[in-house]
Amino acid sequence: MKFLSFTLVLSFVTLNLWASLSQSPVPIPAPAIIQAPAASQSQSQTQSQDNTETQPESTAQDKAKPQPQTNRIEPLPVQKLTSKQHFSLAEKLIESKKHKEAVQHLNAVLKKNPNHFKSLWALYRSLEELKSTDDQRLAIEHLYKTSPNDIDVLSEICKTYYHQKFLIKAFDLCKKAIQKDSANPVNHAHLAKSYWDYGKEKIAVNVIKTASKRFPKDLSTQKIAGQIYLENQNKEQAMLHFKKAHNIDEQDSSVNIALAQLHTEKNNFEMALKHLKMSCLTDPYNSRSPLRRATTKLRLANNQEWTDKYNIVLNSCYGKKNTKISL
């Protein structure tokens, strides 16, 4: 009987407990947020390298290039310059003695306007400085075709034909230059020398004789007169005209060398040495040969006194140490 009562009580307690549990359920915890595990330092570096390697190569190269300066003024490209700008630049370059660069700009002007007188004239002068003889002649010929009556063009083409030994052309153009501008002594001198070089000595002598009287103070006329008379073996007249030229310009080396030669032939060694000293100071390269010849002549003549004096000047002309020319 007791056992039955205990069983009933236990059943009653169990039922009450179950009822209470069903009324107040136990809360279920919320699921935790799953995060990726933190990468180690070595893994981070490897990933960074992988990212760099996957980038295009051009990106890395572009970063190495210097960035353009936004405040820098770029020069205007040559092909975009106007003719006026080309000519202006050419003038500045000529003033700076940059004749090669000037020629490029002048050619750009002449490509658009082949008969632009100022550009042709500047081109001729630059080519003359560059000693580009063929191009120089072509330029002055073009100028002559453009302006056949311009007195300066006529004088220059007369000179060019004489110096480049187009002597028959020189006859014609020098005569035309004299007709247009008879007061220019250079035209007369070049005509006379052209005749002489061509072999027409009598005509040459007559032309230079008249010119030297008309232009007694012109250096070129007196020099060419001296040269023609010297080559014609008229040494007295040659001496006379070279002295006139020396009075006009004492520093002219060709005049001093010519006078030294004439004085040496007369055994006037003192005057010859004076002129050789002067020529050596202004033009040592062209003075050495006549100095050597004069020194050799004195040595062979056993003239030791003057040989020693000439040797001092000769050594100085070669720029040797401890030697100095004193006039």
Which pLDDT score is estimated for 326? 54
d(CA 188, CA 196): 12
> Within 13 Å of residue 198, how many CA atoms lie on the same side as its CB?
22
Tokens of 21: 């549990």
d(CA 327, CA 323): 13
**What is the rounded radius of gyration, in angstroms, for the C-alpha atoms of the chain?**
50
d(CA 17, CA 11): 10
Quick count: other Cβ atoms within 10 Å of Cβ 80?
Answer: 7
Which pLDDT score is estimated for 325? 54
CA 119 to chain centre: 18
In this prediction, the residues of the chain whose per-residue pLDDT falls under 50 are 1-76, 322, 327
CB contact at 8 A, 162 and 189: no
d(CA 262, CA 235): 8
How many helices, marked H, and strands, marked E, lie in the chain? 17, 0
CB contact at 8 A, 51 and 45: no
Tokens of 26: 């136990």
Which pLDDT score is estimated for 319? 83
d(CA 2, CA 24): 34
Query: Hunting for tokens 């236990």 — which residue is that?
Result: 10
Going from N- to C-terminal start, the domains of the chain cover 78-130, 261-327
Q: How many residues does the chain have?
A: 327
| DSSP type of residue 78 | G
| pTM to 2 decimal places | 0.68
Which pLDDT score is estimated for 72? 45
CB contact at 8 A, 160 and 176: no
